[in-house]
Every structure is written in C-alpha cells, then in structure tokens.
Amino acid sequence: MRNDVLHEALMKFFTDAVRRLPMKELSGLAKNKVSLRGKHVLGLEDFSREEIELVLETAKEMKSIIHRDIKKVPALRGKSIMTVFYEPSTRTRSSFETAGKYLGADVVNITAGTSSIVKGESLRDTLLTVEAMGFDAIVMRHKQEGAAEYATKVVKHPVIVNAGDGAHAHPSQGLLNLFTLLQYKGRLEGLKVAILGDILHSRVARSDIWGMRRMGIEVHLAGPGTMLPRFLAEEPGIFVHERVEDAIRDADAINVLRIQLERQKAGLFPSKREYARLYGINNARLALAKKDVLILHPGPMNKGLEISPEVAYGDHSAIQEQVQNGVAVRMALLALVLMGGKAQ
C-alpha cells in the first residue's frame, strides 16, 4: 500500500473513532452566535460580553468532565500545546497543562530555568522555535507587560494564550473569577465586588476590572495609597477607596490579592504588621459585607497578612473552588480557541 493511501485510511479510522465518542458537552458550541476559534487570549479588554458568556457556558460543561471517573475527552486530540513560563507558577501552569490533557491535547512545558532562555535566547526566537515544532497553542507567562501581544506579531500559526504578563493581564484568572461568582451568585450583572490589596502591580486586578465591568459588575478597589494606580476611577463603575472598609461595605464578593513581600522593601508599606492591621481581611471586616459574601484569592496566600486563616478557610471562602474552576475555564478557553464553533 502506498504511503498516502495508508495515511488516508488511518486518518479516516481516527476521524470516525473520534466521531463515535460521546462529546455531548461540546455539542452546544456550534449553536452560539460568537466564535473564539483562532482568537488570541491576551487580555479581557479584547473580549465582548458574548465572548465571555460563551467561555462561562462552556466551562460549566467542562467542569462536569473533571468530576468523571475517566477525565478525558478527545476534543483536542491531535492538537499540541506548549506552555512557556518565564516566571514561576504552580497553579496556572499545571492548571493549563491539566486542562489540555483532559481534552486530549499533547502538552509540553518549558520554563525559563531549564531551557535556552537561560542562554539568552530572545522571546522572538523561543516563540519561532515553538512554532516550527508545529504547536497549535502557546500558553505563556512573562514578566514584561505586552509580551503576549508581542508574541502575536512573531508567530503566524499558533494561538497565543496569555497566562500573565507583568502587571498587565491574566485573562484566564479573570474568567475563572467570573465563573466562580456566577456559580455562587447565579448572576453577574449588578453585583458589587471589592478587590483589595496591591492593585498597582496586579494583573489579576486588571483582568478582573475589564471582565467585571464588561459583565455589569460594580468594582470597588482598596489598598494603601502607594498601591493604588492613579486615574483608575475615570470610568463609570470603577471606584477607588483608601480604606478597605469603604470598599467592603455591602459587597457581594471580595477578591483579596496577594501582597508580594518585596513591596515592603520598595517602601510601599511600612510593615507586615501594619498592613495586616489596616488592610488585612478578617472576620471583623467581613461583617461589613453582605451576609453571603464570597471570598476569592488568586493564591498563593500570605495567611495572617492580607487574609486571616479564619477567613481563608471559613464558610465564605471559595478559594479551593477557584482552583477547580480554573481547570474548567482553561479547558473551555483551549477548546474554544483551538476547535471553536462556527459563527452562524
């Protein structure tokens, strides 16, 4: 048998095999008006309300897969994903890897410490190398704002998924926060969410702001004056407070940001003790919020600093749920950009 005939026969066998597999969780995709197929995931500023809704709906289906005994669907079988992390990460990288694997994709990870990046290879050359190996998606984290945007200019074929670029964006985190809010509150429109801590350096805060505003959530930011960006409250629906109490009052949810300890050395706050006392979230402060307030934290937590253990592990906390939702949302994102549903 000639090679191309063999190839064709094999392809037919696999295609049919894939079709026979139960994929009802993905059947809804084609019905949507919007498609994310081929879309770079750079920041939520690029996402319309309909696109965010599509991700959240799809993530709901994906979450059911995580609970199955056999956690594998062939949605992305034959697709390949490279994660390229220039900054350390536990949950985001493994969450993307898990998401890709549950969907049947081949996932390869490279990190700065163990690759040519330490030999001074430029981001451009690393990206071109990954592209040349045929990868369909590049999930990347980088300390420079705009690195993912830059990547879209360098590569032609792979979809770029931003897993965090400096203080700019962390879109999958923004989406999983929305997904978690929707899960607990049953709606997004009209919610009041407080985001506390180092807003200035936080890509999570920025992706929250873009995504939450798009979905009609009122955003209240609070932290020490040294960690609040100026000029942020110039748009409707964004409020900046210097006292956490003012942001928390009647909040439906509170996203507590991680305080990076090196910020103290940079002079942005005087001491951990003072931060915890004035800005940390504890049960006393929690009482100001709505009774059913939801506590989010992107992790990893500094317990006793920005969040007290009683809050972190208390009844209001959705912090563990966020981790599982992260996998579901990333499954949804990868499936949507790599297979998509045709726009109607």
Partner 1 sequence: MKQLIQGGRVIDPANHIDKKADVLVEDGKIAAVGENLSAEGAEVISAEGKVVVPGLIDMHVHLREPGQEAKEDFVSGTRAAAAGGFTTIATMPNTRPVVDDAAVVRSLQKRAEDEGIVHVKMIGALTKGQQGKELAEVGDMASVGAVAFSDDGHYVQNAKVMLNGFDYLRSFDKVIISHDEETSLVEEGSMNECHRSAMLGLKGRPTVAEDIAVMRDIMLAEYAGARFHVAHISSAKAVEIVRQAKKRGVRVTAEATPHHLTMTDECVDLKDSATKVNPPLRGKADVEALLAGLKDGTIDAIATDHSPHAEEEKDVEYALAPSGFPGLETAVGVLLTDLCHEGKVELPLLISKMTAEPAKILGLTDAGTLSVGAPADITIIDTELKWTVDAEKFYTRGTHSPFVGRKLKGKAVLTMVDGRIVMRDGAIE
Catalytically active residues, by annotation: 91-92, 119, 141, 170
Contact 184, 318 (CB under 8 A): yes
| CA separation, residue 212 to residues 93, 135, 188, 218 (Å) | 24, 32, 8, 7
CA 144/CA 206 separation, integer angstroms = 15
CA 75/CA 67 separation, integer angstroms = 17
Give me the least distance between CB of 324 and partner 1, in Å please: 27
| CA separation, residue 272 to residues 77, 260, 266 (Å) | 48, 11, 13
Give me the least distance between CB of 167 and partner 1, in Å please: 3
Nearer to partner 1, 145 or 321 (CB): 145
Give me the least distance between CB of 289 and partner 1, in Å please: 25
CB atoms inside a 10 Å sphere around CB 87: 16
Give me the least distance between CB of 122 and partner 1, in Å please: 7
Tokens of 112: 């700065």
Give me the least distance between CB of 154 and partner 1, in Å please: 9
Nearer to partner 1, 66 or 232 (CB): 232
Nearer to partner 1, 79 or 206 (CB): 206
Contact 166, 143 (CB under 8 A): yes
Contact 279, 247 (CB under 8 A): no
Nearer to partner 1, 4 or 231 (CB): 231
User: Would you call 256 exposed, middle or buried from its count of C-beta atoms within 10 A (0-12, 13-18, 19+)?
Assistant: buried
Nearer to partner 1, 122 or 226 (CB): 122
**Residues within the interface to partner 1 (CB under 8 A):** 45, 122-124, 142, 144-147, 149-150, 152-153, 166-169, 201-203, 206, 209-210, 229-232, 234-235
